[in-house]
């Protein structure tokens, strides 16, 4: 460790530099006092100032010169007191702009797909296609050693689109037991209330991670999504490219993309829309039911659906506790259809066992049963169907086929927990703590500036609340 020089005991002209070849630096001889390997104290600043056009404070023993590399002498400032001297660079940082490193996970080359025989068979029957992927599918690509980015072209000589970076998602043991894929968020209806309801509901069902797909939303809705990203509970995937397609057309791509993200990431994954909730009976949570399944051939749990008619749009912003709670979908809407196992059901899958997905069920599986029907006495999907329209408004015509209807509510204990969880989260994001003008001025004063409220005429300390 280098001891801090004392200005009273050293010459006024002390500076520290790297020792170079017997005290000769650029042909100039210096009188020095050695204090640390690689450092010397200079006793002549005038030549330094003239040569490097830098001002050195003769009364400051922390100022000095050092060789930063390639014989480039630069002025430096030492930490007051003591500083730690590094004799050489740490190994992991011995790299240059042209250094190309290949991570261990990226040292794999593959020439065939997993379950290649099955995929070859499916291609013959047009279930899995070799080239036709636009606009509603995803692509399986082989791995290449050291590849950092990936893009797709139709022909080998075509100019590729801007590539996307590869990420290490290779896991042997699933990181999560139960995850949820939320289908593409889009459309003009405000979504913040439905987003918090959807996420908090399935967290109470035991889900520990969400993949959420976003096409468009308001900035207000995005604040809530970003807060869930901040807390590490969701991954937000923004969908956009240069080609036109209707917003709903992203759905098929999203289903298969999210399926692949969860292979070896989760043991079980639910694929749902923003207006759907997995609802269990008899006090069970989803994970409680999943824990009871020990047959390895059960790879797709097929849930029937109940429509709950939703005839109003959700509010655009949080105003107060009462306004928010009164508009929670599970509190406001109760007109419920019978259970139907065939009309738009949803599923929980074993991602590693599924070969291809459609929106409502697997198309092909690698092994096991294609569908295992979950009895409605165990659980259903509660679908809050917006009867005021939507991109696929013709679906609403099926509401008449879903009768008879009756008024139902979710489990009272679940309702209590979910209300508390939803309210707590939105208040954390939107219910900004307000301060009086005096309190805000205290914070402004730290930065030596004046808050605008100080100059407002008729300022009353106890009443002047502002968002500045």
Round to whole Å and give the CA distance between 302 and 279: 13
Taking only the tens place, the pLDDT of each residue in 347-391 is 999 999 998 888 899 988 999 999 999 999 999 999 999 887 665
Contact predicate 42/17, CB 8 Å: yes
User: Encoding tokens for residue 14?
Assistant: 């002390």
Q: How confident is the model at residue 70 (pLDDT cuts 50, 70, 90)?
A: confident
For 175-198, b where at least 16 C-beta lie within 10 A, e where not — what string? eeebbbbbbbbbbebbbbbbbbbb
| pLDDT value at residue 76 | 81
| pLDDT value at residue 82 | 62
**C-alpha closest to that of 181 among 289, 303, 269:** 269
Q: How confident is the model at residue 60 (pLDDT cuts 50, 70, 90)?
A: confident
Yes or no: domain 177-429 corresponds to CATH 3.40.50: no
- In the predicted structure, residue 21 carries a pLDDT above the cut 70: no
User: Encoding tokens for residue 112?
Assistant: 């065939």
**C-alpha closest to that of 207 among 283, 267, 276:** 267
Q: What is the DSSP string of 36-55?
A: ETTEEEES--HHHHHHH---
- Cis status, amide bond into 404, omega within 30 of 0: yes
Round to whole Å and give the CA distance between 255 and 247: 14
For the chain, domain boundaries: 15-77, 177-429, 435-466
Round to whole Å and give the CA distance between 461 and 463: 6
| pLDDT value at residue 409 | 96
Contact predicate 257/359, CB 8 Å: no
Mean pLDDT (the chain) is 82
Q: What is the DSSP string of 409-460?
A: ---HHHHHHHHHHHHHHHHHHH-PPPEEHHHHHHHHHHTT---GGGGSTT--
Taking only the tens place, the pLDDT of each residue in 314-345 is 999 999 999 999 999 999 999 999 999 888 89
In angstroms, the Cα distances linking 465 to 319, 431, 438, 441, 446 are 17, 14, 10, 12, 20
**Is the model's pTM score more than 0.85?**
no
Q: Which of 283-287, 388-392, 463-467 has the highest mean pLDDT?
A: 283-287
Contact predicate 347/299, CB 8 Å: no
Q: How confident is the model at residue 20 (pLDDT cuts 50, 70, 90)?
A: very low
- In the predicted structure, residue 130 carries a pLDDT above the cut 60: no
Q: What is the DSSP string of 112-166?
A: S-TTHHHHHHHHHTTSS-SS--TTT--------TT--EE---SSTTSPPPPPEE-
Helix (H, G, I), strand (E, B) or coil at 311: coil
Question: Mind spelling out the 3-state secondary structure of 234-267?
Answer: EEEEECCCCCCCCHHHHHHHHHHHHHHHCCCCEE
Taking only the tens place, the pLDDT of each residue in 400-441 is 788 899 999 999 999 999 999 999 999 999 998 888 888 989
- In the predicted structure, residue 141 carries a pLDDT above the cut 80: yes
| pLDDT value at residue 416 | 97
């Amino acid at each position: 460790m280098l001891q801090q020089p004392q200005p009273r005991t050293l010459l006024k002209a002390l500076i520290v530099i790297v020792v170079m070849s017997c005290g000769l630096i650029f042909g100039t001889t210096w009188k020095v006092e050695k204090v640390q390997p690689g450092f010397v104290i200079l006793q002549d600043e005038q030549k330094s100032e003239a040569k490097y056009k830098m001002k050195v404070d003769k009364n400051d023993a922390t100022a000095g010169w050092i060789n930063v590399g390639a014989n480039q002498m630069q002025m430096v400032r030492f930490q007051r007191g003591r500083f730690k001297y590094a004799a050489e660079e740490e190994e992991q940082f011995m790299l240059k702009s042209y250094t190309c490193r290949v991570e261990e996970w990226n040292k794999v080359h593959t020439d065939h797909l997993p379950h290649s025989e099955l995929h070859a068979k499916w291609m013959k029957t047009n279930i899995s296609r070799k080239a036709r992927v636009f606009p509603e599918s995803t692509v399986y690509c082989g791995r290449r050693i050291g590849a950092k980015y990936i893009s797709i072209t139709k022909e080998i000589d075509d100019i590729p689109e801007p590539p996307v970076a590869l990420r290490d998602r290779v896991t042997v043991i699933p990181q999560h037991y139960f995850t949820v894929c939320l289908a593409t968020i889009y459309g003009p209806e405000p979504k913040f209330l439905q987003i918090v309801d959807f996420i908090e509901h399935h967290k109470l069902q035991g889900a520990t991670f969400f993949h959420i797909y976003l096409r468009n939303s308001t900035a207000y809705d995005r604040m809530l999504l970003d807060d869930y990203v901040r807390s590490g509970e969701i991954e937000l995937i923004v969908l956009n490219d240069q080609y036109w397609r209707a917003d709903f057309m992203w759905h098929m791509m999203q289903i298969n993309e999210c399926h692949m993200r969860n292979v070896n990431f989760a043991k079980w994954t639910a694929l749902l829309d923003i207006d759907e909730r997995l609802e269990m009976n008899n006090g069970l949570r989803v994970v409680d039911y999943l824990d009871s399944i020990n047959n390895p051939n059960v790879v797709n749990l097929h849930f029937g659906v109940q429509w709950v008619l939703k005839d109003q749009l959700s509010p655009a912003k949080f105003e107060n506790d009462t306004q928010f709670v009164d508009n929670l979908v599970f509190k406001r809407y109760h007109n419920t259809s019978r259970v139907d196992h065939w009309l738009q059901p949803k599923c929980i899958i074993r991602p590693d066992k599924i070969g291809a997905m459609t929106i409502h069920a697997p198309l092909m599986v690698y092994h096991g049963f294609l569908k295992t029907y979950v009895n409605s006495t165990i659980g259903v999907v509660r679908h809050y169907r917006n009867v005021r329209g939507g991109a696929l408004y013709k679906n609403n015509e099926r509401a008449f086929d879903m009768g008879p209807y009756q008024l139902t509510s979710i489990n009272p204990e679940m309702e209590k927990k979910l209300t508390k969880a939803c309210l707590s989260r939105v208040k954390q994001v939107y219910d900004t703590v307000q301060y009086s003008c005096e309190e805000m001025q205290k914070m402004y004063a730290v930065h030596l500036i004046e808050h605008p409220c100080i100059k407002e005429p008729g300022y009353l300390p106890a009443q002047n609340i502002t968002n500045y």
